[in-house]
Amino acid sequence: MTHDIAGEEFFGSCFVCSSAKSQGTTRRTMLRAVAVAPVAAVALSSAASAKTKTAPRPPVGAFVIQAGWALVEKSDKLELVRGAHILVRNGVIEEIANSPIKGKFPVVDAKQHLVVPGFISGHTHVCSATPTRGIIEQGRFYKYPLELVERLSDADQDALTAFNLAELLRSGCTTQIEMSLTLRQAESYVRVADKWGVRGYPGPMIPNTTRLFDVWFRKNDAPLFASEAETLREIELARAFGKKNMNRGEGRIRPMMSAHATDTHTEKTMQAMKAACDDLGTGFHLHLSQSREEATRVKNLWQVSPTEWLEKLGMLDQPVFGAHMTAIDWANEGPILKKHGTVFSHCPSAGGAGGPSMPYPDALGAGVATNIGIDTHSNDYLENLKLAVLIGQVRYWHLRSDKARAVKEPGIWDAIEGATRVPADALKRKDLGRIAVGARADLVSVDVSGFLAGSGALPPEPLNNLLYCNGMMVRHVMTDGRIQIYDGHLAVEDEAKVVAEGGRVVQGIWDQLQKEDWFNKPLARGG
Residue (of 474, 446, 382, 466) closest to 111 by Cα position: 446
3-116+437-493 matches 119-426 in fold? no
On the question of pLDDT at 27 being above 70, the answer is: no
The per-residue pLDDT of the chain, averaged, comes to: 90
Q: Give pLDDT, residue 26.
A: 34
Q: Give pLDDT, residue 524.
A: 61
Q: Give pLDDT, residue 140.
A: 87
CATH of domain 119-426: 3.20.20.140
Least confident of 36-45, 92-101, 286-295, 311-320: 36-45
On the question of pLDDT at 2 being above 90, the answer is: no
On the question of pLDDT at 443 being above 90, the answer is: yes
What band does 240 get if pLDDT is binned at 50, 70 and 90? very high
Average pLDDT over residues 289-312: 98
Q: What is d(CA 66, CA 4) in angstroms, rounded to the nearest whole number?
A: 11
Residue 248 DSSP code = B
On the question of pLDDT at 7 being above 70, the answer is: no
Residue (of 235, 228, 237) closest to 266 by Cα position: 228
Over its C-alpha atoms, the chain yields an Rg (Å, rounded) of 23
On the question of pLDDT at 505 being above 50, the answer is: yes
Q: Give pLDDT, residue 352.
A: 77
Q: What is d(CA 238, CA 244) in angstroms, rounded to the nearest whole number?
A: 10
Q: Give pLDDT, residue 376.
A: 85
| Axis crossing angle, helix 381-399 with helix 412-419, rounded to the nearest 10 | 130
Burial of 9 (0-12, 13-18, 19+ CB in 10 A): middle
What band does 139 get if pLDDT is binned at 50, 70 and 90? confident
Which neighbouring-strand residues pair with 345?
Answer: 323, 371
Stronger pLDDT, 70 or 37, i.e. the higher one: 70
Q: What is d(CA 459, CA 471) in angstroms, rounded to the nearest whole number?
A: 19
Pair 192, 158: CB distance under 8 Å: yes
Stronger pLDDT, 358 or 47, i.e. the higher one: 358
Q: Give pLDDT, residue 53.
A: 52
The model's pLDDT over 448-494, given as tens digits with 9 standing for 90+, comes to 999 999 999 999 999 999 999 999 999 999 999 999 999 999 999 99
Q: Give pLDDT, residue 202.
A: 99
Average pLDDT over residues 427-431: 98
What band does 397 get if pLDDT is binned at 50, 70 and 90? very high
On the question of pLDDT at 24 being above 80, the answer is: no
The model's pLDDT over 203-224, given as tens digits with 9 standing for 90+, comes to 999 999 999 999 999 999 999 9
Q: Give pLDDT, residue 526.
A: 46
Q: Give pLDDT, residue 353.
A: 81
Least confident of 156-165, 235-244, 352-361: 352-361
Q: What is d(CA 183, CA 204) in angstroms, rounded to the nearest whole number?
A: 5
Average pLDDT over residues 227-251: 99
Q: Give pLDDT, residue 178.
A: 99
Q: What is d(CA 274, CA 278) in angstroms, rounded to the nearest whole number?
A: 6
Please list, in sequence order, all residues whose beta carbon lies within 8 angstroms of the beta carbon of residue 498, skipping any fewer than 6 positions away.
Answer: 159, 162, 163, 166, 490
Which neighbouring-strand residues pair with 92?
Answer: 89, 440
DSSP E strands, 455-503 = 474-479, 482-486, 489-490
Which of 345-349, 355-359, 432-436 is modeled with the greatest confidence?
432-436
The model's pLDDT over 47-96, given as tens digits with 9 standing for 90+, comes to 334 444 555 689 999 999 999 999 999 999 999 999 999 999 999 999 99
Q: What is d(CA 400, CA 229) in angstroms, rounded to the nearest whole number?
A: 47
The domains of the chain are located at 3-116+437-493, 119-426
Q: Give pLDDT, residue 28.
A: 31
Q: Domain 3-116+437-493, what fold?
A: Urease, subunit C; domain 1 (2.30.40)
On the question of pLDDT at 521 being above 90, the answer is: no
Pair 226, 214: CB distance under 8 Å: no
Q: Give pLDDT, residue 354.
A: 75
- The secondary structure element, H or E, covering residue 50 is none
On the question of pLDDT at 15 being above 60, the answer is: no
Q: What is d(CA 168, CA 185) in angstroms, rounded to the nearest whole number?
A: 16
What is the value of pTM for the model shown?
0.89
On the question of pLDDT at 36 being above 60, the answer is: no
